Amino acid sequence: MAEPKESKAGVKCSFCERDKQDTTVLIAGKRGHICDRCIEQALQLVKEELNERNGNSLYKSINLLKPLEIKKHLDDYVIGQEDAKKVLSVAVYNHYKRVAQKPAKQDEDVEIEKSNVIMVGETGTGKTLLARTIAKIINVPFCMADATVLTEAGYVGEDVESILTRLLQAADYDVLAAERGIVFIDELDKISRKGDNPSITRDVSGEGVQQGLLKLLEGSSVNVPPQGGRKHPDQKMIQVNTKNILFICGGAFEGIDRKIANRLQSQTLGFGARKGLEDLNRNNYLQYISPEDLRSFGLIPELIGRLPVLTHLDSLDEATLRKILTEPRNSIIKQYVKLFDLDGVKLTFDKSVFDFIVEKALEFKLGARGLRSICEAIMMDAMFEVPSNKATKELHLTLDYAKNKMKRSAINRLKVA
């Protein structure tokens, strides 16, 4: 039976007086109706009022530690890399000290700018681990992004705004929390300028991406697609202010050590050249890295200027890899011991097995990531068989067992000549 026309005509929003046909949703209550637009406006007003009333309540959830305390926490998870941990601890502390500063105490004449960080180091030296660990310590939203998939707007690939989409997802779409988060952009060296000479073709995955990153890094309001940009073109954008988001960038920058060496040798010509060359550590040129080297590698000056804190990660030697394997709170060996313990099996190793694993990791030149791959190759058969054998209560791995399993493993083909 059709509803009377009079009842339809009389239904309006009690706040804006829009007719029912002009609204998407009209919710009925005891004393009237409210439409979807008025609900959205009311929600925004409530959020703004709560933010003003609570002041810095959001910042109370940030676990702001002093630089020494941050570094001590990093020491529990990351072995070595003393310089990088010190630089990162200071940068993060200064950033969140600036963020937590109350507006009433801010000096109008002095505005503290944020200090984004760029870390340069070989693959597997701990760049991602450092960024993830420090976000966990500070208790802020954290996301990772890969610069290799980014392209200039309008081309196949992801827009730079997709980085903030991941941060929103990590913060459960809480915009205020996301605006105090940490973003780690990996593989920054892969978007270096492809050539110094201008070309008729656009550098859509190199300099074009660097230009797109500028507005994110410097601090501006960005319209972010909550579900990704190009698959859902009609979605409503979320505005995110990047002023208080800390960006940590990392990259291997393969071959930059040669550029550093050329720069240093050209600076040590003439008088005092002998003394300058003798002081250089030729085994680790990365410790002498400067913004000039990043520019010669292919990063544009505007991007380098928005990443003022520059640090390096040392390559991992045998002693460091040995410590990484066993000492950190979340070390690889401790993880395997825990896995077998969950099945009621006590796992032990000969110490010579650890030396063998480190030796293979250096041979394959995979850094700390290679340790897990080698452990998986050695222990795969044990992890496959032991859970079904209820009689096994202890498992002891010897050097002969490790060598035998490694010899039969496919990973052995990774051996570098």
Q: Show the beta-strand stretches assigned E in 325-369.
A: 346-349
Count other C-beta atoms under 10 Å from residue 279's C-beta: 9
Quick: pLDDT tens for 218-263.
888 888 888 765 556 666 888 899 999 999 999 989 889 888 988 8
Q: How far apart are CA 219 and CA 75, in angstroms?
A: 31
Mean pLDDT of 314-330: 90
15, 122, 52: which is closest to 369 by C-alpha? 122
**Would you place residue 339 in the very low, low, confident or very high pLDDT band (cuts 50, 70, 90)?**
very high
Which pLDDT value is given to residue 290? 92
The residue type of 132 is R
Share of the chain above pLDDT 70, in %: 82
359-380 tens-digit pLDDT: 998 888 778 888 998 999 999 9
Rounded distance between C-alpha atoms, residue 118 and residue 249, angstroms: 5
Confidence label for 358 from pLDDT (cuts 50, 70 and 90): very high
Residue 4: what pLDDT? 38
pLDDT at 369: 82
CA distance 82 to 284: 14
Which band of pLDDT confidence, cut at 50, 70 and 90, is reported for residue 71? Answer: very high
- Which residues have a Cβ under 8 Å from the Cβ of 210 and sit 6 or more positions away? 191, 193, 299, 300, 302, 303
What is the mean predicted confidence (pLDDT) over 95-108? Answer: 69
CA 85 – CA 127 distance, rounded (Å): 10
For the cut 60, the answer to whether the pLDDT of residue 8 exceeds it is no
Q: What angle do CA 402, 408, 414 make, to 5 degrees?
A: 95
Sequence length of the chain is: 417
pLDDT at 410 over 70: yes
Region of poorest pLDDT, from 6-15, 42-51, 74-83, 380-389: 6-15
DSSP 94-129: HHHHHHT--GGG--TT--PPP--EEEE--TTSSHHH
pLDDT at residue 35 tops 50 = yes
Residue spans per domain, the chain: 22-54, 56-102+112-194+202-315, 318-414
398 pLDDT above the threshold of 80: yes
> What is the pTM for the complete model shown?
0.76
Q: Name the pLDDT band for 414 (thresholds 50, 70, 90).
A: low
Mean pLDDT for 293-322 is: 92
* Mean predicted lDDT score pLDDT of the chain: 83
Higher-scoring residue by pLDDT: 9, 44: 44
**Could you tell me which residues are beta bridge partners of residue 379?**
none
Structure tokens at 114: 């944020």
Q: Pick from 385, 375, 377: which is nearest to 405 by CA? A: 377
The hierarchical CATH code for the domain 318-414 is 1.10.8.60
Q: How far is CA 133 from CA 77, 136, 181, 272, in A?
A: 8, 5, 13, 43
**Residue 323 pLDDT more than 70?**
yes
pLDDT of residue 122: 86
Res 6: pLDDT: 37
pLDDT at 294 over 60: yes
Q: What is the mean pLDDT of residues 153-162?
A: 76
Looking at domain 56-102+112-194+202-315, what is its CATH homologous superfamily? P-loop containing nucleotide triphosphate hydrolases (3.40.50.300)
Residue 175 CB contacts under 8 Å (≥ 6 apart), including other chains:
168, 238, 239, 240
CA–CA distance from 259 to each of 142, 264, 294 (Å)? Answer: 33, 9, 9
Q: In the predicted model, is pLDDT for residue 189 greater than 60?
A: yes
- Compute the distance between CA of residue 61 and CA of residue 140 in angstroms, rounded to an integer: 8
- Rounded Cα distance between 335 and 345, Å, is 13
Q: Which residues, other chains included, contact 383 with Cβ-Cβ below 8 Å and sequence gap of 6+?
A: 339
Are 322 and 233 in contact by the 8 Å Cβ rule? The answer is: no
Q: Among residues 347, 400, 412, 348, which one has the least CA distance to residue 374?
A: 412
The arithmetic mean of pLDDT across residues 300-313, rounded, is: 93
Lowest average pLDDT, out of 19-33, 56-70, 316-330, 374-388, goes to: 56-70
Q: Which tops the pLDDT comparison, 226 or 15?
A: 15
Q: Cα angle vertex 152, ends 147, 156, to 5°?
A: 85
- For residue 190, how many other CB atoms are within 10 A of its CB? 19
